[in-house]
């Protein structure tokens, strides 16, 4: 099950990395078109940091694929999300800081952190995003770092009311975003957990069914072997009985023949005996007649 969770986590990470790379490449192409076709004065540093960001994502992609433990993957993700925030903050700085629309891009990092990190770490990433942007504004406001205005200076970065309202808006928006996203993520994770649990139960049931089928097949094979053995034995026994019956018939024929011979002999003997008795009676009768004649 642990390997299954690692596989799912790696798939999520790969999907997130690829989607961010696609978004950055698309953004880079748009900026190049705006700069060299419509001559929008974007600083060259923006393109450098975008390319660096894409290269870092590709390197992280190959790095994380070698991880075999969930906590190692999550730890690497958390650290790389911090790098995301720093790179994005630098790009925001070169695109005008508070005067640009780019700070909303922090929301994509927050959403990704919700679905790839724990709830606690996603809140940390949210507060780091707010802190990074707020720090950038403060540094520009106190002229610690020079303000870059590629689209012209508006003076907004020096307006405390605008700074406060912008930071408050971003703070509330990002907090609501991470809360809603975490809520939705919990629902998704629960559904995913239920699906994985059901899948595990189905796999177990399927495994049990395969085992039962295998047992039935083995039993069927044993029955087939037993059937063949019985058929061989029955054929052998039938053959023995046929041979025995044939022998008995031959013996009966022999005994019948012997009896017939004895009966014939007895009949002959009886005829001979009866004939002899008749002759003896005849002789006695004649002898008596002779004696009677002599007496006269």
| Cα–Cα distance for residue pair 95/98, rounded to 1 Å | 9
Question: Where do the H-state alpha helices sit in the chain?
Answer: 2-36, 44-64, 70-94, 106-116, 119-141, 160-295
In a domain, 238, yes or no: no
In a domain, 259, yes or no: no
| Cα–Cα distance for residue pair 126/110, rounded to 1 Å | 6
In a domain, 137, yes or no: yes
Mean pLDDT of each 10-residue bin along the chain, 296 residues long: 67 82 90 87 90 92 78 85 93 87 84 86 93 92 87 77 88 91 82 76 83 84 82 81 78 76 74 70 71 67
In this structure, the chain runs to a length of 296
Q: Do residues 110 and 130 touch, judged by C-beta distance below 8 A?
A: no
Amino acid 175: pLDDT: 92
In a domain, 17, yes or no: yes
Domain count, the chain: 1
In a domain, 275, yes or no: no
In a domain, 113, yes or no: yes
Amino acid 176: pLDDT: 93
Global confidence as pTM: 0.66
Its domain, for residue 107, covers 2-212
Amino acid 274: pLDDT: 65
In a domain, 270, yes or no: no
| Cα–Cα distance for residue pair 55/218, rounded to 1 Å | 58
The two structure tokens encoding residue 286: 């004649």
In a domain, 225, yes or no: no
């Amino acid at each position: 099950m642990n390997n299954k969770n690692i596989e799912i986590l790696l798939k999520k990470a790969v999907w997130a990395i690829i989607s961010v790379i696609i978004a950055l490449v698309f953004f880079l192409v748009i900026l190049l078109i705006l700069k060299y076709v419509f001559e929008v004065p974007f600083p060259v540093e923006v393109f450098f940091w975008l390319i660096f960001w894409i290269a870092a994502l590709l390197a992280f992609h190959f790095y994380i694929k070698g991880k075999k433990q969930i906590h190692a993957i999550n730890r690497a993700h958390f650290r790389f999300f911090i790098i995301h925030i720093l790179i994005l903050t630098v790009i925001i700085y070169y695109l005008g800081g508070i005067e640009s629309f780019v700070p909303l891009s922090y929301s994509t990092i927050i959403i990704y952190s919700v679905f790839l990190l724990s709830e606690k770490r996603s809140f940390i990433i949210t507060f780091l995003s707010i802190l990074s942007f707020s720090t950038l504004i403060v540094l520009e406001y106190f002229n610690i770092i020079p303000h870059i205005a590629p689209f012209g200076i508006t003076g907004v970065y020096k307006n405390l009311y605008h700074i406060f309202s912008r930071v408050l808006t971003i703070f509330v928006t990002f907090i609501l975003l991470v809360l809603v996203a975490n809520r939705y993520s919990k629902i998704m994770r629960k559904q995913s957990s239920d699906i994985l649990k059901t899948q595990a139960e189905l796999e177990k049931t399927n495994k049990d069914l395969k085992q039962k089928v295998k047992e039935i097949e083995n039993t069927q094979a044993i029955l087939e072997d037993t059937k063949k053995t019985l058929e061989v034995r029955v054929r052998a026994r039938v053959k023995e009985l046929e041979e025995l019956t044939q022998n008995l018939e031959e013996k009966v024929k022999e005994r019948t023949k012997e009896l017939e011979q004895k009966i014939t002999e007895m009949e002959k003997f009886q005829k001979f005996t009866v004939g002899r008795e008749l002759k003896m009676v005849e002789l006695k009768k004649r002898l008596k007649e002779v004696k009677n004649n002599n007496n006269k």
